[in-house]
Structure 1
């Protein structure tokens, strides 16, 4: 049993649960709990919130109990400095960007034929992919996304060190794939902090690393995320060529995965931004085909598109196209589904915008008030940016005291960046 898995077992016992009691509370076999505590298996993402609740800890603290001690060890729960403001935060950001520059060079310029070859850090090669899946799970389940930043930063250090060392061709390809995976997560963290240029740089290196590792789906996803940065910055014309290339790359990938359907969903947003409703609907119809695909549609990490987002994405597209009735129908359907904090905030903000076009102050206040509460919970730059976008539409209704008060409250919110 590793040190951290021993702490997992000790925490379970300290809470008064035997292995049998713990298994019964989670509706799993006792052998499953034994395997978790022995380090031979890891709880699935949907099981972790319940486990954390039983142990009386946060999801991030649970992550610390599940990841094995290794050179690629994730940060401890107390090491949770976020990617925000101040000299220390700028230093952390520069550190990651410096790693990005080194990694980009190592991916593009492998060792020469006369370089010594050997095996790289066995712990990272064997356990690194599991660590990355865990980091994505923490990122997905956390209301405040920045809590995962220190762990990502540590893992990037480990990967860069391994890429710079001696390795076999097989290990190098695997390390490139892991690098592409982790830099997409780093890009997501920069995006959540409203650092779009930094996010785009991460996605660019991720795309190059995925290409070097021969992973087409990973490559297409990195390009799609890069395109989304351009869309969010209102640069649909810059997003289009990225998406067209991502579409071509995705066609070379695994047909059991949903990569090509996700590319189509983001293409629909680009067409909506350019006012092309026919092309938008065709792309949305293509994205809907994810529901008919066999096998796994996502992997729980860098690819999570399973069609559950299509209502909100269709609603966002119709809102951009000025089809407010269609937008409201799709967005209301989206609210009926389980949504993460960020996704719920985005849907509610879009519904508030629909209210603005109708001059329905009650609707605006109802949805906007909820989003302000969510912004306070998450300190997410993404949610703050959505509220800033809402303010841009409020001008015609400013004579109403409630609207002017809402405008002041949004302006007073703290921002991650």
Structure 2
């Protein structure tokens, strides 16, 4: 049995490809990608240029990812940040150095391993955020930022553009965490740093990601600036979506994600027609994509469109429509790790049932929210507000689990 190619898999994930979407791009079976990563099959030489293109590496670097061998990694007096990065790189590669890189000398080896390690750490931040492990991601964020900065500032990135892409990706996580915590200004600042890095790297998808996060942060604005900032958020989303004209999966994904946030913004303005039109367009894009992928950490696909349809119904204050839409979705069919998306689905359902005075069903969805994303229940103001509303008309015989949920969420004492 071959050695598992963990660095190869980490590189794929860092670029937002699932095994399924990666296989689709290469026109191979899903099982083939799995066998490549488990080390039981090696890609033919004629496939490698396309694989290298998708992974944004040279053919030599691809050979390094495909041929891990056990060796000792030696670094002359690394800084503390560099040492941390190198240790991570070894872990990602399964404790292996790379033969082909070794032939180029120690410095070349360190640079490639370092870049793979930092890329894997950035991807890990995104995974933790999507798994709704917000506090964990926030704790790790500063050290990953330092590692990315060291990669760029110390000249360890052979291609500066890749280092800037990583910087953009890290700041996207920072913007998500700040916005999730309700700090729109910090979210805007991080998203702006992401935009600057993406533009310097000439990364159109990084620019799209930054625009998406800026729009999300603007929606967290204070009440005195609310209308103006909602308008700004809508202009950003629409403009960024319009700028993406390609028919490749990444372009389709980002156009779809930006169209979805645009639909939510239209619903917040109570514009039913525009919200529905954007949902329809997003659904067409999702059907073109054909799968629930996670390109660019967007989780965009047919299921994500349905989740947003439910959120749009909530924004339009229509609980019946929210529940009717939710019935069309099997939330357990989402790709693994998307706990935050699952939690949002259950929160929207809980809101709808609460509006219809269907308290037992509302509590069931809140308990599911707690199961998949316990941090969200404790910190999300909408979740806490729902629990407080349910407590105000508590019927213990019908919903005995409510009191315990309220205590765990800190809503009741």
User: How far 1:29 sits from its partner (Å)?
Assistant: 4.6
Q: CA separation of 1:247/1:297 partners in 2, compared to 1, >3 Å: closer, same or farther?
A: farther
Q: CA separation of 1:134/1:255 partners in 2, compared to 1, >3 Å: closer, same or farther?
A: farther
Question: Structure 1 residues 177-186 or 251-260, which shifts more?
Answer: 251-260
Match status 1:365 vs 2:363: yes
Deviations 1:376-410 (A, max 9, x none): xx323686433123246548x62645679847843
User: Are the equivalent residues in 2 in contact too, given 1:177–1:209 (CA < 8 A)?
Assistant: yes
Map of 2:17 onto structure 1: none
Taking the aligned partners of 1:29 and 1:153, their CA distance within structure 2 comes to 35
3-state DSSP class of the match of 1:214? coil
3-state DSSP class of the match of 2:270? coil
Mind listing any 5+ residue stretches in structure 1 that lack a counterpart?
7-25, 43-67, 78-119
Match status 1:342 vs 2:360: no
Map of 2:247 onto structure 1: 255
Q: 1:144 is matched with which residue: 133, 137, 141?
A: 133
User: How far 1:280 sits from its partner (Å)?
Assistant: 0.5
User: Are the equivalent residues in 1 in contact too, given 2:237–2:261 (CA < 8 A)?
Assistant: no
C-alpha RMSD of the superposition: 4.3
User: Are the equivalent residues in 1 in contact too, given 2:240–2:258 (CA < 8 A)?
Assistant: no
Deviations 1:97-146 (A, max 9, x none): xxxxxxxxxxxxxxxxxxxxxxx955444654454334434543x45343
User: Are the equivalent residues in 2 in contact too, given 1:240–1:267 (CA < 8 A)?
Assistant: no
Match status 1:245 vs 2:243: no
User: How far 1:165 sits from its partner (Å)?
Assistant: 4.3
Mind listing any 5+ residue stretches in structure 2 that lack a counterpart?
8-30, 43-62, 68-81, 92-109
Match status 1:380 vs 2:380: no
Q: 2:304 is matched with which residue: 306, 309, 315?
A: 309
TM-score by length of 2: 0.63
Map of 2:39 onto structure 1: 33
Deviations 1:225-284 (A, max 9, x none): 222233356846413323423432343344322111111100111111111101110111
User: Are the equivalent residues in 2 in contact too, given 1:192–1:381 (CA < 8 A)?
Assistant: no
User: How far 1:310 sits from its partner (Å)?
Assistant: 1.2
Match status 1:330 vs 2:325: yes
Tell me the matched-pair count: 322
Match status 1:231 vs 2:223: no
User: How far 1:365 sits from its partner (Å)?
Assistant: 3.1
User: How far 1:333 sits from its partner (Å)?
Assistant: 2.4
Taking the aligned partners of 1:152 and 1:274, their CA distance within structure 2 comes to 34
Q: CA separation of 1:304/1:356 partners in 2, compared to 1, >3 Å: closer, same or farther?
A: closer
Taking the aligned partners of 2:183 and 2:37, their CA distance within structure 1 comes to 45
3-state DSSP class of the match of 1:71? helix
User: How far 1:370 sits from its partner (Å)?
Assistant: 3.4
Taking the aligned partners of 1:231 and 1:321, their CA distance within structure 2 comes to 16
Map of 2:106 onto structure 1: none
Taking the aligned partners of 1:129 and 1:30, their CA distance within structure 2 comes to 20
Deviations 1:67-109 (A, max 9, x none): x9873654999xxxxxxxxxxxxxxxxxxxxxxxxxxxxxxxx
Match status 1:132 vs 2:138: no
Map of 2:353 onto structure 1: 355
